[in-house]
Structure 1
Amino acid sequence: MALFFDNITNKAPNSLISVRQSDATQTDMEFAHFMRLAESWLNDASETDKQIFRKCNGTEMEHIALKALKDVAPQTSFNAENIKLVSGLQFPDIQAAGHFGVEVKSTKSDSWTSTGSSIVESTRIPDVSRIYMLFAKLGGKTPEFRCRPYEQCLSNIAVTHAPRYLIDMNLADKGEKNIFEKMSVEYDTFRLLGEKEKINSVRKYYMRANQTKGKYEMPWWMGDTNTEVSSSIMIRFFTDLSLCEKSDITARMFILFPELFGPKQDKYKRAALWMCSRYSVICSNLRDTFSAGGKVDEIGGVVFKKKKPQVLKTLYQNRALITELLSDPDEALMQDVEDHWGENESLSLSMSKWLCLMQQTFNENEELKDVDLKKLFDCWNS
């Protein structure tokens, strides 16, 4: 890279003062101007020597971005001496005048999209209040550069080893919302949340979005971090669990998903996704787990005029734990009820509320509509 730097004019920094936070509107405008100049500098340099840029790795790109910022600084109110590279130690990669930052991302492909930084921002420099994304698209005919306000080019959230933003530098051009607009929260509000609050906010957003679309999808990669129940690092089969684990999961499943007793063919989908998301447990034959063994005409001393589905017997076998959980729900159950029943539904969680929801489902099932579940539970518990 030495030859490249030798061929670019190195302007000496002037003695202009650093930008202060006191006038937010003016300084934001000045920062935007600063970044536009840097973008032009980089695109002009790329036209001069395409191959040098094409060969850049991430670290080299950060140093070139730093040089661009220092070179254009004399045309702005920013002092080149107050622009520093902190990559590898803190977020964002470059800090300018204390309160401003630049996150440098590059891709070898001919695309304006990439995976970005962690949503947690645990290494964020506390003083930095405004960040720009400086994106280098090194593939294609000519390497190109774009600079945008950080939050305006974050399209979504995905996971590698942790939840990370997805970058799309064309969001504004396509008229599409960034992830914060989708979540109805300001970036500056979201970034100040604690790690648990961020994860839970994102999890709730995806839960609501998928429910609205009627999709059988759940964010398996981020269970509720506020509860003691967390997803295992290992994926296991339901059939390999201990009897205690099976009973606990089954009881919670019966509470959360009344549709397990309904007539629909896809009634096991939500429960199967929840089990995977919450416990890292999969079951290849969930229907058989609850219904295997045919129909029964007697359960717990109660004789039925017509035979009932085996799943009702499974309910009977888990009645004690269901009653216990509904009488004294833990945080995990409260959160799951809110996620799957609806916002704030955990506030009204009770045995009577659950029985009511279950009875509504029973009434939709030809095989169960003649069953009074409350009376049945009273008989079973007497």
Structure 2
Amino acid sequence: MIIVCDKMREAAVGTFFEGTIKLTDAHAFPDIVANGYFGVEVKMTTGNHWISTGNSVLESLRIEDVERIYIMFGKFGGTLDIRYRLYQECLPEVSVTHSPRYRINMELPIGKSIFDKIGIDYDTLRKNDNTIQKIKEYYRALLKEGEELWWIDQESDDKSVSPIIRPFRRLAKEEKDNFVIEAMILFPEIFGKKNTKFERAAAYLIAEHNAVSSNIRDCFSSGGKVEMEINGKKVLLPQICARLFAQAKEIKIKINQLDNKILSYYWRTDKIGEDRLSQWKNFLDKNFILVNSDILASDIFDYALYEENKELS
């Protein structure tokens, strides 16, 4: 970038840019500033392509007064070549290294940038207080069933995430229980019959707890069926029902602590009612089907709370 800066200074002689071209600090964005308003970000690749990783979407190290930035891109693989373009024109998507960063493609057609896809122009997005959230909303809309984003939320400043992925079996008992409780609340489909019913819970385990399980089903249903008495009736139930019964009190507490946005997203609904517990029980009953019995999942949950209150009285 020093060479680029020197060449720009030579070319600026006799123009209103003369004497204004400066190399910025090592980690600042962009690399070069001209006349305090224009910027040049220098990128290069040793490969025979025009693709590279760009800068952080938050642009926290951006030079404040710079309003218009260009990419100067050198391709050293294959035939040596250099191209330049307006920065926002060649950003097709966001990728993640240690933080969400723009992807650069110098061959990107006009109208195909990430900003065109989101429907918001570059300057508006970069000045937004919730830049990452806007991008996450776009990518979340593209998710297929069982997929989940794992980026750190911009709004979760109090949340630190370890770079280490742990096996579920090594989590402390409290953290295991927390995951099971959260999963039963957020993913009522795990009470159903579909083969894919644990996929979203597995993605959530990675994204929110930095853990993986080779057989996540065992977190809920290991041990086979169990005989339980519900409302005076003895019935043979899946093991997950025993977990529901055992964690009923904690579920009731947790469900009233969760943010509406979290429930709305994972429940795939635009509206969270005032009685979110009843709303959740409706989701449970739609997924849970017990052959040759009229017992509902909500019956198991309610009976557990009844037994809890009876013991306390």
| TM-score for the superposition, normalised by structure 2 | 0.88
| Aligned counterpart, 1:170 | 107
| Rounded Cα–Cα distance in structure 2 between residues aligned with 1:148 and 1:354 | 51
Asked if the contact 2:53/2:102 (under 8 Å) is kept, the reply is yes
| Rounded Cα–Cα distance in structure 2 between residues aligned with 1:99 and 1:260 | 55
Of 18, 30, 49, which aligns to 1:111?
Answer: 49
Of 69, 87, 92, which aligns to 2:8?
Answer: 69
Asked if the contact 1:78/1:96 (under 8 Å) is kept, the reply is no
Q: Does residue 378 of structure 1 match 2:302?
A: yes
Q: Does residue 127 of structure 1 match 2:65?
A: yes
One-letter amino acid of the structure 1 residue matched with residue 95 of structure 2: A
Task: Describe the superposition over 1:60-86 as per-residue Cα deviations: whole angstroms up to 9, x where unpaired.
Answer: xx12322332343358x6422111111
Asked if the contact 2:54/2:101 (under 8 Å) is kept, the reply is yes
Query: More helix per residue: 1 or 2?
Result: 1
| Aligned counterpart, 1:38 | none
One-letter amino acid of the structure 2 residue matched with residue 188 of structure 1: D
Of 133, 137, 145, which aligns to 1:204?
Answer: 137
Task: Describe the superposition over 1:351-378 as per-residue Cα deviations: whole angstroms up to 9, x where unpaired.
Answer: 011111111112xx35497323334333
Of 326, 329, 337, which aligns to 2:255?
Answer: 326
| Aligned counterpart, 1:48 | none
One-letter amino acid of the structure 2 residue matched with residue 320 of structure 1: K
Task: Describe the superposition over 1:290-321 as per-residue Cα deviations: whole angstroms up to 9, x where unpaired.
Answer: 1111112315675344x221111111111111
Paired positions, count: 306
Task: Tell me by how many angstroms 1:87 deviates.
Answer: 4.5
Of 220, 223, 244, which aligns to 1:315?
Answer: 244
| Aligned counterpart, 2:39 | 101
Q: Does residue 90 of structure 1 match 2:28?
A: yes
One-letter amino acid of the structure 2 residue matched with residue 116 of structure 1: G
Distance 1:299 1:138, change over 3 A: farther
Distance 1:347 1:121, change over 3 A: farther
| Aligned counterpart, 2:128 | 193
Task: Tell me by how many angstroms 1:199 deviates.
Answer: 2.7
| Rounded Cα–Cα distance in structure 1 between residues aligned with 2:273 and 2:39 | 43
Task: Describe the superposition over 1:240-277 as per-residue Cα deviations: whole angstroms up to 9, x where unpaired.
Answer: 22222122111111111011011110111110111110
Asked if the contact 1:82/1:98 (under 8 Å) is kept, the reply is yes
| Rounded Cα–Cα distance in structure 2 between residues aligned with 1:227 and 1:353 | 30
| Aligned counterpart, 2:91 | 154
Q: Does residue 182 of structure 1 match 2:124?
A: no
Q: SS in structure 2 opposite 1:80?
A: coil
Q: Does residue 249 of structure 1 match 2:179?
A: yes
| Rounded Cα–Cα distance in structure 2 between residues aligned with 1:263 and 1:276 | 23
Give 1:24-43 correspondences, 5 Å limit: none
Task: Describe the superposition over 1:18-67 as per-residue Cα deviations: whole angstroms up to 9, x where unpaired.
Answer: xxxxxxxxxxxxxxxxxxxxxxxxxxxxxxxxxxxxxxxxxxxx123223
Task: Tell me by how many angstroms 1:135 deviates.
Answer: 0.9
| Rounded Cα–Cα distance in structure 2 between residues aligned with 1:167 and 1:302 | 65
Distance 1:299 1:200, change over 3 A: farther
Q: SS in structure 1 opposite 2:85?
A: strand
Q: CA RMSD in A?
A: 2.4
| Rounded Cα–Cα distance in structure 2 between residues aligned with 1:204 and 1:302 | 47
Q: Relative to structure 2, which stretch is displaced further, 293-302 or 272-281?
A: 293-302
Give 1:282-297 correspondences, 5 Å limit: 282-297=212-227
Q: SS in structure 2 opposite 1:171?
A: coil
Distance 1:371 1:106, change over 3 A: same
Q: SS in structure 2 opposite 1:133?
A: strand
Distance 1:282 1:369, change over 3 A: farther
- Stretches of structure 2 that go unaligned for 5 or more consecutive residues are 307-313
Task: Tell me by how many angstroms 1:285 deviates.
Answer: 1.4
One-letter amino acid of the structure 1 residue matched with residue 127 of structure 2: L
Q: Does residue 265 of structure 1 match 2:189?
A: no
| Rounded Cα–Cα distance in structure 2 between residues aligned with 1:68 and 1:349 | 66
Q: Relative to structure 2, which stretch is displaced further, 349-358 or 371-380?
A: 371-380
Asked if the contact 1:89/1:123 (under 8 Å) is kept, the reply is yes
